[in-house]
């Protein structure tokens, strides 16, 4: 079948596109489901939710090898034809092998951030993109100048987060902004 990866900065519509593609599969009378990381409870613990409020029920799994086994077990036990995985950047790199294998027999759609707040690639996202049959690269709109945004700026009290901040901090508009290459301020 196929492995499709949707990548881009925050606020580029990755989760909206993931939901749209899984809903198409379900509309075509195929069994589909979406998986999300358990610690991402920004808008809902049991649904993937876009920043603009679009929702879709999801299985939640841990960011661990056990969580990856749960994905494989549910795919088999529920006889899923198509699966979506949201925020792959939060998962361990072992997810790459799991989704690559699953794509041999079903449609797999994964979405995740391209770069962290330091403008460094997320390994799991990029490894999946390298193995994908199709990559959709989405961009957002820079909140500073209105140009195409390909980076995510993390802010603390309105200023760029320091470089030594943790890579993963779950948040939304209160903490992150899409920025273009010119308006992005590298952390120091």
Domain parsing of the chain, residue ranges: 2-139
Q: How far apart are CA 183 and CA 25, in angstroms?
A: 38
Was domain 2-139 assigned CATH 3.40.50.300? yes
Contacts of 75 (CB under 8 A, 6+ apart): 83, 102, 106
Q: Could you give the percent of the chain with pLDDT greater than 70?
A: 99
Query: Can you read off the two tokens belonging to residue 36?
Result: 């999300």
Catalytic member of 4, 17, 25, 87: 87
Closest CA to 109 of 88, 129, 90, 84: 84
pTM score, whole prediction:
0.92
Q: How far apart are CA 85 and CA 109, in angstroms?
A: 6
Q: Is 87 a catalytic residue?
A: yes
| Dihedral sign of CA atoms 39, 43, 46, 49 in order | negative
Contacts of 34 (CB under 8 A, 6+ apart): 18, 19, 22, 48, 56, 57, 58, 59, 83, 84, 85, 86
Residue range 52-97, pLDDT digits in tens: 888 999 999 999 999 999 999 999 999 999 999 999 999 999 999 9
Q: How far apart are CA 84 and CA 90, in angstroms?
A: 14
Residue range 100-138, pLDDT digits in tens: 999 999 999 999 999 999 999 999 999 999 999 999 999
pLDDT level of residue 34 (50, 70, 90 thresholds): very high
pLDDT of 49 strictly over 90: no
């Amino acid at each position: 079948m196929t492995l499709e990866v949707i990548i881009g900065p925050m606020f580029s519509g990755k989760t909206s596109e993931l939901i749209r593609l899984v809903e198409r599969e379900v509309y075509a009378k195929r069994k589909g489901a979406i998986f999300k990381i358990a610690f991402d409870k920004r808008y809902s613990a049991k649904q993937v939710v876009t920043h603009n409020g679009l929702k879709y029920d999801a299985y939640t799994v841990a960011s661990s090898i056990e969580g990856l086994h749960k994905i494989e077990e549910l795919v088999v036990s529920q006889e899923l034809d198509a699966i979506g995985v949201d925020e792959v950047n939060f998962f361990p790199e072992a997810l790459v092998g799991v989704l690559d294998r699953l794509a041999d027999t079903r449609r797999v759609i994964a979405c995740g951030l391209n770069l962290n707040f330091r403008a460094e690639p997320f390994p799991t996202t990029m490894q999946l993109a390298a193995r994908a049959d199709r990559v959709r690269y989405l961009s957002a709109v820079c909140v500073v100048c209105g140009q195409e945004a390909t980076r995510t700026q993390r802010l603390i009290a309105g200023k760029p987060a320091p470089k030594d901040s943790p890579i993963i901090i779950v948040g939304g508009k209160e903490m992150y902004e899409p920025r273009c290459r010119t308006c992005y301020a590298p952390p120091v």
